[in-house]
Amino acid sequence: MKHMADRRSFLASCAAIGAGSTLFPGVLWAKLSAGAEITPQMIADAEQIAGVQFDAAEREMLVDALKGQSAQIEALHKVSLDNSVAPAFNFDPVPPGRTVPQGQRRAPVRSHVTLRAVPTDLDQLAFEPVTVLSELVRTRKVSATQLTKMYLARLKKYDPQLKCVITLTEERALKQAAVADAEIANGKYRGPLHGIPWGAKDLLAVRGYKTTWGAGPYKEQTIDRDATVVQRLDAAGAILVAKLTLGELAQGDIWFGGRTNNPWKLDQGSSGSSAGPASATSAGLVAFAIGSETLGSISSPSTRCGVTGLRPTFGRVPRTGAMALSWSMDKLGPLCRSAEDCALVLDAIQGPDGQDGSTIPAEYHWDARISPKSLRVGFVQSAFDLPQVDPSNPKRQSHPTKKFDDDALAALRRLGVNLVPVTLPVLPYDAMRLVLSAEAGAAFDELTRSGRDKELVQQSKADWANTFRASRFIPAVDYINAMRLRSLAIREWDVLMSQFDAVATPTGAANLPQLVATNLTGHPAVILPNGFREDGTPVSLTFLGPLFGEGKLLALASAYQNATGFHLKHPPLFV
């Protein structure tokens, strides 16, 4: 145990200072990159980082083997791998023996919508959910062109305050809107997203426009294709009005153009990395947006900006044409004004595309008639039981959202939900984060080796530039073993989650592993606003679901929203 603790301490120091530090006077691969010859002493110097120890004879034998490995690595470096090239294996979140629900695709069953008179000032429609906007467009009370121009005007007006837009797609949007209006006038209605303006996190490729990934080294990049999600929303008749910000290379809310701000509190960042999608949706600049999550990038900005975010099951939505950060953890999902909006958007973008090998064919059906009383619902008792004030430090809140969390349980019980306490599987989830570090380092290996990682604006110990450098010191053996440990997590979480349609949990309870754990196991989550602090900023609640159980998961979230109404409140500066 002491050896492991010493090693962790040493690796933390390595990560803090960087691969070029004098901490590594004889580190094997650092010397190799400088053209040095492999010697037994170099191997001895590298052993502490690798977490192994050899004797002199073993080091002598290793020299030739490592020279061979060095030649192989050098050959690999001569091949330029595009970010879109995935590894020759696919992550599968479904444990052995568990079958994925199958069935014919069915049209969504939507809730009833009562339409009000169309206001003279169309800005008053800016915060209406897709469920309402779609009926206004379908019944031709409002045209797609009118909505598109209204949202484009709001994007131009408010972006200087929010910094949530990288590129307006105005020409494309107005052409799409004109086509949508003509189709609807001729009786061709594509469905609930027809004529609805939306925004894309700028890690989704769109032909004819820059795809910057929020990062300076790629700010002039163009990709001559439309991402699958973009193609599917085009086919559904939705109208892309903007490419929205993301923290550079999908981290945080800071990008090459500045910081994306929270509409509820402009001196606060919107969190990330789906910073722009959350900020723009919250401020009524788009009807909905598409973001991505690898480890909190939908959950965190949805919480901060008070929108409803859906992180689908890993493999539910194809990522073709999206920037890869971690091939076994990346997920695309909607950020909307309501759970039902998320359900309708998911219906349009889910399912295999024949290109992303990680997508899994599985049944999905949205039915707004599902009663919450019919659902099996658990709650993470240890998280809800946390005291609001830390007993060891009465001046510090250990669980500042406790009042909101307790109220949430009461609201669920009023809906007739029978809440069952659950205990989350205990495993070293933080250790498994090696998977993300290793895959992200591989995805941006060339950026690191070229030295262009210095062009990233975020350069602290916790930022990607340093993480990518540190990832080069993760032994391949340990990456594989982290994936093996991940298999155990998948099995244990499947045993738990297969008993429920949803499990409620505070989104950010102290020491709660759910965010890391479920991003590793691939389980879906819905994050929804759950009240407001004294300063007016929102807090959130999370519902976790079984693999490919988004239909019932969203049904519970929708019922909760209809009973509480927190999602109907909007940031006052933008109303």
- Which strand (E) or helix (H) includes residue 197? strand 197-201
What's residue 390's pLDDT? 75
Domain limit, last residue, from 368, 383, 402: 368
- Cis preceding linkage at 21, omega within 30: no
Of the residues 55, 79, 103, the one at which a domain ends: 79
At 326, give phi and psi (nearest 5°).
-140, 110
Do 60 and 201 reside in the same domain of the chain?
A: no
Cβ atoms 241, 205 nearer than 8 A: no
Question: And the tokens for 417?
Answer: 């939900």
Q: Are residues 58 and 150 in the same domain?
A: no
| pLDDT one digit per residue (tens) for the chain, 575 residues | 333 343 343 333 333 333 333 233 334 544 455 557 899 999 999 888 888 999 999 999 999 999 998 898 889 999 999 999 999 999 999 999 999 989 889 999 999 999 989 999 999 999 999 999 999 999 999 999 999 999 999 999 999 999 999 999 999 999 999 999 999 999 999 999 999 999 999 999 999 999 999 999 999 999 999 999 999 999 999 999 999 999 999 999 999 999 999 999 999 999 999 999 999 999 999 999 999 999 999 999 999 999 999 999 999 999 999 999 999 999 999 999 999 999 999 999 999 999 999 999 999 999 999 999 999 999 999 999 988 877 778 777 777 899 999 999 999 999 999 999 999 999 999 999 999 999 999 999 999 999 999 999 999 999 999 999 999 999 999 999 999 999 999 999 999 999 999 999 999 876 679 999 999 999 999 999 999 999 999 999 999 999 999 999 999 999 999 999 999 999 999 99
One domain for residues 140 and 57: no
Report the predicted TM-score, pTM, of the whole model to 2 decimal places. Answer: 0.92
Q: Which residues contact 345 (CB under 8 A, 6 or more apart)?
A: 130, 193, 288, 290, 310, 334, 336
| Percent of residues in the chain assigned helix, strand, coil, to nearest 5 | 40, 15, 45
- Tell me whether residue 156 is in a domain: yes
Same domain, 169 and 316: yes
Report the C-alpha gap between 139 and 195 in whole angstroms.
12
Q: Is the domain of 39 the same as that of 129? A: no
Nearest to 48 by CA among 62, 19, 27, 18: 27
- Domain of 12? 1-79
Do 326 and 227 belong to one domain? yes
Q: Are 525 and 543 in contact (CB under 8 A)?
A: yes
pLDDT tens digits along 106-154: 999 999 999 989 999 999 999 999 999 999 999 999 999 999 999 999 9
Number of domains in the chain: 2
C-beta of residue 332 within 8 angstroms of C-beta of residue 313: no
pLDDT value, residue 391:
75
Report the pLDDT value the prediction gives residue 17, as an integer from 0 to 100: 31
Residue 163's region, left for phi above 0, alpha for psi from -120 to 50, else beta, is: left
pLDDT for the residue numbered 50? 85
Q: How far apart are CA 477 and CA 233, in angstroms?
A: 41
Q: Does 358 share its domain with 248?
A: yes
Residue 325 falls inside a structural domain: yes
- Asked whether residue 394 is domain-assigned, the answer is no
Rounded to whole angstroms, the Cα distance separating 152 from 148 reads: 6
Angle at 528 between CA 542 and CA 396, to 5 degrees: 65
The pLDDT, as a whole number, for residue 11 is 37
Distance CA 256, CA 246 (A): 10
Specify the pLDDT at position 2: 36
CATH code for the domain of 159:
3.90.1300.10
Residue 272 sits in the same domain as residue 215: yes
Contact 142, 136 (CB under 8 A): yes
> What pLDDT is attached to residue 442?
97
Backbone phi, psi, residue 525, to 5°: -150, 145
In a domain, 398, yes or no: no
Domain boundary at 27, 49, 79, which?
Answer: 79
pLDDT for 143 equals 98
For position 265, what pLDDT does the model report? 98
**Is residue 377 in some structural domain?**
no
Do 269 and 347 lie in one domain? The reply is: yes
Q: Is 291 found in the same domain as 213?
A: yes
Is residue 240 within 8 A of residue 247, CB to CB? The reply is no
Determine, yes or no, domain membership for 444. Answer: no
| Residues in the chain, total | 575
Question: Does a structural domain hold residue 290?
Answer: yes
426 assigned to some structural domain: no
Do the Cβ atoms of 546 and 316 come closer than 8 Å?
no
Residues 210 and 291 in one domain: yes
Same domain, 206 and 348: yes
